[in-house]
Structure 1
Amino acid sequence: MMVNLAQLLPDARRKRYAIGSFNVYNYETIRGVIEANNELGYPAIVAFGENYLTNMTVDEVFALVDAMSKRVKIPLALHLDHCKSFDHIVQAIKAGFTSVMYDGSSLPFEENIKQTAQIAAIAHAANVSVEAELGALAGGEFSNEESGEEIYTNPEQAARFVAETKVDALAVSIGTVHGMYKGTPKVDVEILKKIAAQVDLPLVLHGGSGTPEEIVKRCIRNGIAKINVNTEISLYTIEKVKELLQSGKAYHLSQLACKEVDYVKEVVKKYSTMFRAI
């Protein structure tokens, strides 16, 4: 069953658990994310980033997710992740995505409000939920995104931003990074608490890969209802495929593809279980 974030996340914030949002790039990753959560019995968020439009079109992603959704019993959201392009957001909505993220975090505050509000109005008219971002995350190792200066989310600005844009979820910057951490994670849960006191809608944590479990759980207890995981899926799967190729055994490409699905499922199950065990 295809749903949007507005149907999934409020319950997660209210009951203090989080739903994993897992980035996909091809058939194997899509299948791995959906099968792993279906086996656990948890809702799934399949996230396709604007950066991966060189891998697949939004129509191709929707067709695969839509077909697989008919074979599972869990609620399933198809989310366009970290999109800065108005045209790409419209394309995803037309394709059948149930949720989009407009990333105006690099814009001046007033312009971020203006652009996000316009996109929210368009998306909501199509029953598509909207995530936005306030503040900016730094880039860690193995990040495929541009590394910018980290800017923590301002709690007072967050309250005004949510009120004026009417978004369904807000991604916050509190010290996590895109990619893997280069050093010891310094996640400021106190800032998160202040944001959560000002904003009652579901909050989103980007940069879940490698974030220590105890920090993750503290974040969930303080308003985080959606956590993005990307880099670890890629790194783990590549490392495991390397081991297979170096084992001396000959593999057909079709066999490697099935192995990739299994490796993706291992990472997804690890985090989906963690996000529920609060």
Structure 2
Amino acid sequence: MLVNLKEILTKAEAGNYAVGAFNSPTLESVRAVIEAAEELQAPIILSHAEVHNEIIPIEIMGPILIDFAKRANVPVTVHLDHGSNLEIVKKAIDIGFSSVMIDASHMNYEDNVRTVIEIVEYAHRQNVSVEAELGMIASSGIGGEETKGGEPFAEGDLIDYYTDPLIAKDFVEITEIDALAASFGTVHGIYLKEPNLDFDRLCAIYKNIQRPVVMHGGSGLSEEDYVTAINSGVRKINYYSYAAKAGAYAIKDFIENNSNLFYHDLTVVAKDAIKKDVIRAMKIFLNKGEVVR
């Protein structure tokens, strides 16, 4: 069933768990995520990232995501991830997405606020939830979707882009967003070293804003880090790079071990591998205290 982000995260707040948001730029990834959610009977967020328009346009993938969501037997939010182009953000709403992220974090604070308010007013009239970002989440430069000026962040620069808890309170109150993407040490893409997450900052942000916190760069963390983040207020975890990598490596292994190859077989191999990785992540996000292997 198709629901908006506010509805799905309100239940996550009550249950102290996080909902996985999985970018799904191919039919195989969409099927993998939906099958995983239905198998676990867990809510899910199907996302289309603006940068993935290069893989498949939102005009094509959007209706597919919405159709899968409506037919699913679990709550599904269809979400636009990292929408920085206002026309595309509004187009997603008009297509039928139930949630959008307006990412104006690269702007100065005043312009960020002004841009977010414009989208909130447009979206809320249609019962569409809005996520926005304050601070900036870095990228490892490998498999990530976002970089500072097109390049990975320098080692010493990161803390300069972390979300300020006091400013976050002001930002949320002025814009009336439904969820805040906060920067506290995660990165987009593949981790090149063990991440150092500022959980004290995360707790302060959550306490100040009284809204669900979104963790971007959610792939590749330890189970302990996920649980600590959830218990500190994270209710939505964006997860993509490691699931996509699982699908790619499964195809690589299949090709290396089979001589009679057909493309359709590769799609099944990829779907099954992505599904397995998504199930593992979702079990952690549900925060039931079970060790996931």
- TM interval, shorter chain, is over 0.9
Residue pairs, 1:100-119, within 5 angstroms:
100-119=100-119
Q: Distance in 2 between matches of 1:229 and 1:66?
A: 19
Deviation at 1:184, TM superposition (A): 1.6
Q: Distance in 2 between matches of 1:117 and 1:240?
A: 43
Q: Distance in 2 between matches of 1:82 and 1:177?
A: 14
Q: Does 1:253 align with 2:263?
A: yes
Q: Which residue of 2 aligns with 1:31?
A: 31
Contact 2:185 2:197 in 1 (8 A): yes
Amino acid paired to 1:97: F
Q: Which residue of 2 aligns with 1:66?
A: 66
Q: Distance in 1 between matches of 2:66 and 2:175?
A: 29
Deviation at 1:233, TM superposition (A): 1.3
Q: Which residue of 2 aligns with 1:228?
A: 238
Q: Which moves more between the two structures, 5-14 or 200-209?
A: 5-14
Contact 1:141 1:181 in 2 (8 A): no
Q: Which residue of 2 aligns with 1:121?
A: 121
Q: Distance in 1 between matches of 2:166 and 2:93?
A: 31
The structure, 1 or 2, with the larger RCO (C-alpha pairs under 8 Å, 6+ apart) is 1
Q: Distance in 1 between matches of 2:9 and 2:124?
A: 16
Q: CA RMSD in A?
A: 1.3
Q: Distance in 1 between matches of 2:68 and 2:95?
A: 16
Residue pairs, 1:55-204, within 5 angstroms:
55-148=55-148, 149=153, 150=158, 151-204=161-214
Q: Distance in 2 between matches of 1:146 and 1:125?
A: 29
Query: Structure 2: where are the runs of 5+ without partners?
Result: none
Q: CA-to-partner distance for each residue in 1:69-120, whole Å, 9 max, x for gaps?
A: 3442101110000010000011111111110000111111111111101111
Q: How many residues align?
A: 278
Deviation at 1:145, TM superposition (A): 2.8
Amino acid paired to 1:221: N
Q: Which residue of 2 aligns with 1:268?
A: 278
Amino acid paired to 2:286: R
Deviation at 1:267, TM superposition (A): 1.3
Identity %: 35
- Determine helix, strand or coil for the equivalent of 2:257: coil
- Determine helix, strand or coil for the equivalent of 1:183: coil
- Determine helix, strand or coil for the equivalent of 1:211: coil
- Determine helix, strand or coil for the equivalent of 2:236: strand
Q: Distance in 2 between matches of 1:197 and 1:44?
A: 25
Q: Which moves more between the two structures, 65-74 or 32-41?
A: 65-74
Q: Distance in 2 between matches of 1:27 and 1:106?
A: 31
Residue pairs, 1:204-223, within 5 angstroms:
204-223=214-233
Q: Which moves more between the two structures, 254-263 or 237-246?
A: 254-263
Q: Distance in 1 between matches of 2:97 and 2:270?
A: 25
Deviation at 1:38, TM superposition (A): 0.8
Contact 2:102 2:119 in 1 (8 A): yes
Contact 1:21 1:229 in 2 (8 A): yes
Contact 2:141 2:147 in 1 (8 A): no
Q: Does 1:244 align with 2:257?
A: no
Q: CA-to-partner distance for each residue in 1:231-257, whole Å, 9 max, x for gaps?
A: 101111111100000003323211211
- Determine helix, strand or coil for the equivalent of 1:217: helix
Q: Distance in 2 between matches of 1:144 and 1:10?
A: 28
Deviation at 1:62, TM superposition (A): 2.8
Deviation at 1:4, TM superposition (A): 0.6
- Determine helix, strand or coil for the equivalent of 1:53: helix
Contact 1:152 1:175 in 2 (8 A): yes
Q: CA-to-partner distance for each residue in 1:170-210, whole Å, 9 max, x for gaps?
A: 00000000001111210010100111110111110001111
